[in-house]
Amino acid sequence: AFQRAKRINGIEISQIVQISETAAQMRSNGTDVIALSTGAPDFPTPDFVIQAAHNAALAGQTGYTATAGTNELRDEIARQNNASRDQVIVSTGAKQVLANAMLATLDEGDEAIIPTPYWTSYSDIVAMAGGKAITVPCPMAQGFKITPASLEEAITHKTRWLMLNSPSNPSGAIYTKTEIRALAAVLQNHPHVWVLADEIYEHLSYAPFVSFAAAAPELANRTLIVNGVSKAWAMTGWRIGWGVGPAPLIRAMTAVQGQVTSGACSISQAAALAALTGDRQLLTDRLQDFDTRRKLVVAGLNAMTGITCPEPDGAFYVFPNIEEMMAKGGFKSCSDACNWLLEKAHIAIVPGSAFGLAGHARISFAYSQSDLNNGLSRIADALKKLR
């Protein structure tokens, strides 16, 4: 019989993907489902980016590139991050940057500290690499952010990484410069701990964003910045992300990547270069659109009894508390509540437990205003049926 490797024991297709696929299945069976479950912008990739890809393909840029990425793209990323080429790796999405980093650094039992709620993949990637995810609860009352005291408490001699995500998926939390400096002060006393700062939602900030690298330059020799074009440029399918960090780390990650994908898609790299060097007015316009949707969703949810929704500072998710709704409906878990919403109200959202924090749900607002309005009224109508 088929047997899994121990390495992937307990690792399943992500709950976010499962819910979205169930919703798609229901839709293909004729049910009118509204899915507010995925983290992909509904905008198209900018035309000038698609044009650059087309030009690259016609110009014959169709072979393997250097494993760590084309010189042109790495140099541009380096330039925008005050780094040098050997401090940059381009990968098949930001996700592969994370996987490369963990595979390149974690030995069996090594620990990665993950402020919770966290993007589902963090813990699975750490586990797959043989490491141990140390999840640190960061409740709504502390803005879903890790405090210096809880960081200090979580560090052991086995800690290899602190995995920070600002702006955060799912909470939208952004760490201020002061908050980063306070965390950096803790890390100063623990030179064996490295920082992975996932800043993929950088350009989706409604409050001031500061990069970890800019706020804590004294930790540059143990900081890996992760970013990419997927979210801001609406390029999730092109699969381009990058890491910027110390050259020896980048070299180790490149060795891993060389045996997994050989490198990112040549045409997508040309497209990403066009995105990075192109006009950014589009980003500003889209941010405004997202901001309008953010306000609409926060106001809509807070108008409902049973749901408390803080305003996110970044990304395109809200992460409301739904415990009152759960109590009213007698739901044992937020997952039961979300399943009920999907079955009875035909609205797909993701339970907070998928992000390590029960009692919440994640709603993506990377959807059209009409989908959002319809989705909100479905939730409101469903809630009225509870008592």
Burial of residue 136 (CB within 10 Å: 0-12, 13-18, 19+) is: middle
* Window 313-342: contact mask with ligand PLP (x via CB under 6 A): ------------------------------
Residue 114 or 307: the one with the smaller Cβ distance to ligand PLP is 114
Question: Using the rule CB under 6 A, which residue among 236, 268, 269, 321 binds ligand PLP?
Answer: 236
- CA end-to-end span of the chain: 49
Which lies closer to ligand PLP via its Cβ, residue 94 or residue 338?
94
| Window contacting ligand PLP (CB under 6 A); options: 5-13, 87-95, 243-251, 362-370 | 87-95
Complete DSSP assignment for 76-132: HHHHHTT--GGGEEEESSHHHHHHHHHHHHPPTT-EEEEEES--THHHHHHHHTT-E
Q: Read off the amino acid at residue 385.
A: K
Angle at 334 between CA 138 and CA 120, to 5 degrees: 55
Binding ligand PLP (rule: CB under 6 A), the pick from 123, 211, 230, 268 is 230
Q: Per CB under 6 A, which of residues 151..190 are in contact with ligand PLP?
A: 165, 169
User: Per CB under 6 A, does 200 bind ligand PLP?
Assistant: yes
Determine whether 48 is exposed, middle or buried from the number of CB atoms within 10 Å of its CB (0-12, 13-18, 19+): middle
Q: Which of 41, 46, 69, 93 binds ligand PLP (CB under 6 A)?
A: 93
Q: Which helix (H) or strand (E) holds 149?
A: helix 148-154
Is residue 23 a contact point for ligand PLP (CB under 6 A)? no
Take residue 248 and report the two structure tokens written for it. 């020896």
Binding-site residue total for ligand PLP (CB under 6 A)?
13
CA distance 79 to 97: 19
Among 105, 119, 209, 321, binds ligand PLP (CB under 6 A): 119
| Binding span for ligand PLP by CB under 6 A among 4-12, 91-99, 297-305, 337-345 | 91-99
What would you measure as the largest C-alpha separation in the chain, in angstroms? 64
Q: Which is nearer to ligand PLP, 131 or 243 (CB)?
A: 243
- H or E element that contains 345: helix 334-345
Strand 88-91 versus strand 361-364 pairing type? unpaired
From the list 22-30, 92-100, 217-225, 320-328, the region that binds ligand PLP by CB under 6 A is 92-100
Stretch that binds ligand PLP, among 79-87, 93-101, 276-284, 350-358 (CB under 6 A): 93-101
Tokens linked to 383? 């809630």
Cα–Cα distance measured from residue 292 to residue 286, given in angstroms and rounded to the nearest whole number = 10
Question: Closest CB to ligand PLP among 228 and 306?
Answer: 228
Query: Would you count residue 202 as binding ligand PLP (CB under 6 A)?
Result: no
Q: How far is the CB of 232 from ligand PLP (least distance, A)?
A: 11
In the complex, which residues of this chain contact ligand PLP (CB under 6 A)? 39, 93-95, 119, 165, 169, 198, 200, 228, 230, 236, 241
